[in-house]
Amino acid sequence: MPEIKGEMIIFLVSVVTGIMLRLVYQSIGVFRQIIEHSLFLIGIEDVIFWIGSALYVFVQIYYTSDGSIRWYFILGLVFGTLFCEALLRRRKKG
C-alpha cells in the first residue's frame, strides 16, 4: 500500500508541474501583449522557455522517481496543463 501513496504523490507533483509550466507560458504571452516583440524575439523566448521547461521537468522526474520516467508522471503533466488551460479559457470567457 505505501507504493500507491508514493505514486499518488508523484502524480500530484507532476500535475502541479504541468500547471506551473502552463502558467509560466501564459505569463510569457501576457508579457508579449504588453511589449511588442518581433518574430525573432518570440522564437528566442520560446526556445528559452522549452529548454527551461525540459530542465525543470527533468529535475522533477529526478527528484520524484529517481530519474525513471513513469507513465503517470507524463499523464499528470498533461492533466495539469489541460486543467490549467481549461481554467484560463473559462476565465477569459467570463
Q: What is the pTM of this model?
A: 0.85
Which residues of the chain fall short of a pLDDT of 50? 1
Domain count, the chain: 1
Q: How high is the pLDDT of residue 37?
A: 87
Query: What is the domain range of residue 7?
Result: 2-93
Type of residue found at 46: D
Measured between alpha carbons, how far is 4 from 46 in angstroms, rounded to an integer? 36
Q: How high is the pLDDT of residue 2?
A: 58
Grid cell listed for 16? 502541479
Q: How high is the pLDDT of residue 65?
A: 82
Q: How high is the pLDDT of residue 3?
A: 84
Q: How high is the pLDDT of residue 35?
A: 92
